[in-house]
Structure 1
Amino acid sequence: MSAAGRLRSLHVPGTPLLLPNAWDAASARLVEQAGFPVVATSSAAVAEALGFADGQQAPVGEMLAAAARIAAAVEVPVTVDAEAGYDLPPAELAERLLGAGAAGCNLEDTVPGAGLRDVAEQADYLAAVRAAAGDALVLNARVDVFLGAQDQAAVLDEAVTRARAYLAAGADCVYPILVRSAEVLREFVEAVSPAAVNGNLRPGGDLAELADAGVARVSLGPGLWRAQQSWLADQLAALKPA
């Protein structure tokens, strides 16, 4: 089975694939050594480790080179957070991701500095990536309408509309990022069923609750990176001369 096929097979609603997101070859090896069957990258963590802010501020060549180093360091499939596609034509994005050794990718529907992309435009972009990659990439289409929404229930219908359009365009999974309400997440999962849905495990979050909602994969995002940075800051503070 191909790496993408193995990744795709692990998307089981109710028994989610847990993805501790890595940022370099060393952290990816630790994820693999801990027994996780897939390594995912976090764009925020990778960018910050390279000295840049998240949101496509890092040069695309550096981001993809980091992804290639991660993929070369492990035997398990690697899925890459490709942000909004780095302004690359879809065929070029697919080619460069596959060239880096990626088995999957996240693609978000927010364009940095421009806000949410039109749903039809995003669906067309996803369809073109799918056409270029065939089955060699597992496409996880991020749905960003919950970000910053004061009333997340009020944007549920728009989220479902976007998710269904992205699935129809060829996405394997949809990712309603940062849904705070377990009930809203459950309603979203039911509305797009039987499609795979990606949830977030936030600090102090409950993995069992996400599984009960029916998600098929769970991301930690930059959580491990943030925890590592916090630990390092504490260690440095303790070592600082009086």
Structure 2
Amino acid sequence: MSSLQEKAENFRNLHEKGNPLVLYNIWDPGTAKIAASSGAPAIATGSWSVAEAFGFPDGEKLPRNLAMENINRICNSVDIPVSMDLEAGYGRSPEQVAQSVILAGQNSAVGVNFEDQIIDGKGLYSIEDQVARVAAAKKASNTLDVPIFINARTDIFLQASEVDDQKELLQEVITRGQAYADAGADGFFVPALTDACLIRELCDTCPLPINIMMMSGCPSVSELANLGVARISHGPGPFRAAMELIKKNCSTLYGD
């Protein structure tokens, strides 16, 4: 069995620009085992999938203690690195974020996703507020026996409308990426960014490994690698596909 330190180092090293870590997001020990046995070098949860699997809506409605119990069971079920989707840190203050990061590390996660949208609020945290939260997450990580990978996420493109100027949005993303890097983030996750030219510009400009999520309109894995992406997530797609298969099978059985 690999030690937690070995898993953490391996996970960090898997973030390679142009040779991305591909994560097929899972939600429980059963799906974790399937991904691991299929050759996945690492796995990660997706908050939407985990919440739905437990009967909760997304947005930190899944109680934190249940989320931590779940990540602990997942980590103990496989011998590969596991990253946890921590949403916005289960709290608005830097101190609350720090506590959540410590709990994730204590439950054997070697990485966390950590977003800048305001849960149960409007819009995103200001750059200044989110920098304080990222810095607290990093400081908390460094107190652990095995520091974890802080994957800072911005929801600028995820919350954008069709009329928003994509290039202007990218400039805000780049600004946040640099600020989060300065605050100690280890990676930068930009879901809903799908334009190849903008992805390349981000990868060329931001000092952090870039994480892109596979979704409609997104370049292929090989194309993303050529653009300089270092990490690719599948988000809620795997859960939705699994549920559609179950729905289809139940409809066949019960005649719906």
Residue in structure 1 matching 2:97, options 85, 90, 97: 90
- Once residues 11 and 139 of structure 1 are traced to their aligned partners in structure 2, the CA distance between those partners, rounded to angstroms, is 12
- Once residues 69 and 118 of structure 2 are traced to their aligned partners in structure 1, the CA distance between those partners, rounded to angstroms, is 22
Alignment-mate amino acid for residue 182 of structure 1: A
Partner of 2:70: 66
Partner of 2:83: 79
Partner of 1:148: 159
- Once residues 91 and 159 of structure 1 are traced to their aligned partners in structure 2, the CA distance between those partners, rounded to angstroms, is 24
8 Å Cα contact 1:37-1:76 kept in structure 2? yes
8 Å Cα contact 2:89-2:101 kept in structure 1? no
Residue in structure 1 matching 2:200, options 178, 186, 201: 186
Partner of 2:40: 36
Offset at 1:241?
4.1
Is 2:243 aligned against 1:236? no
- Once residues 236 and 61 of structure 1 are traced to their aligned partners in structure 2, the CA distance between those partners, rounded to angstroms, is 32
- Once residues 182 and 107 of structure 2 are traced to their aligned partners in structure 1, the CA distance between those partners, rounded to angstroms, is 27
Look up the SS of the partner of 1:101 in the other structure.
Answer: coil
Is 2:16 aligned against 1:12? yes
Runs of 4+ in structure 1 off by over 3 angstroms are: none
Offset at 1:64?
1.4
- Once residues 51 and 180 of structure 1 are traced to their aligned partners in structure 2, the CA distance between those partners, rounded to angstroms, is 30
Partner of 1:201: 214
Q: Deviations over 1:109-130 (max 9, x none)?
A: 0012222001111111111111
8 Å Cα contact 1:152-1:179 kept in structure 2? no
Alignment-mate amino acid for residue 235 of structure 1: N
Q: Deviations over 1:141-186 (max 9, x none)?
A: 0011111322322211110000111011111100111102111111
Offset at 1:136?
1.2
Partner of 1:226: 240
Is 2:100 aligned against 1:100? no
Look up the SS of the partner of 2:88 in the other structure.
Answer: coil
User: What is the RMSD of the two structures over their aligned residues, measured on CA atoms?
Assistant: 1.5
Offset at 1:131?
1.1
Alignment-mate amino acid for residue 127 of structure 2: V
Q: What fraction of aligned residue pairs are identical, expressed as a percent?
A: 36
- Once residues 199 and 24 of structure 1 are traced to their aligned partners in structure 2, the CA distance between those partners, rounded to angstroms, is 22
Offset at 1:6?
1.1
Residue in structure 2 matching 1:215, options 202, 214, 229: 229
- Once residues 197 and 29 of structure 1 are traced to their aligned partners in structure 2, the CA distance between those partners, rounded to angstroms, is 26
- Once residues 241 and 200 of structure 1 are traced to their aligned partners in structure 2, the CA distance between those partners, rounded to angstroms, is 36
- TM-score with structure 1 setting the length: 0.95
Instruction: Give the count of matched residue pairs.
Output: 241
8 Å Cα contact 1:203-1:223 kept in structure 2? no
- Once residues 33 and 168 of structure 1 are traced to their aligned partners in structure 2, the CA distance between those partners, rounded to angstroms, is 37
In structure 1, stretches of 5+ residues that fail to align are none
Look up the SS of the partner of 1:80 in the other structure.
Answer: strand
Residue in structure 2 matching 1:26, options 11, 25, 30: 30
- Once residues 186 and 255 of structure 2 are traced to their aligned partners in structure 1, the CA distance between those partners, rounded to angstroms, is 53
Partner of 1:123: 131
8 Å Cα contact 2:101-2:112 kept in structure 1? no
- TM-score with structure 2 setting the length: 0.90
In structure 2, stretches of 5+ residues that fail to align are none
- Once residues 148 and 80 of structure 1 are traced to their aligned partners in structure 2, the CA distance between those partners, rounded to angstroms, is 22
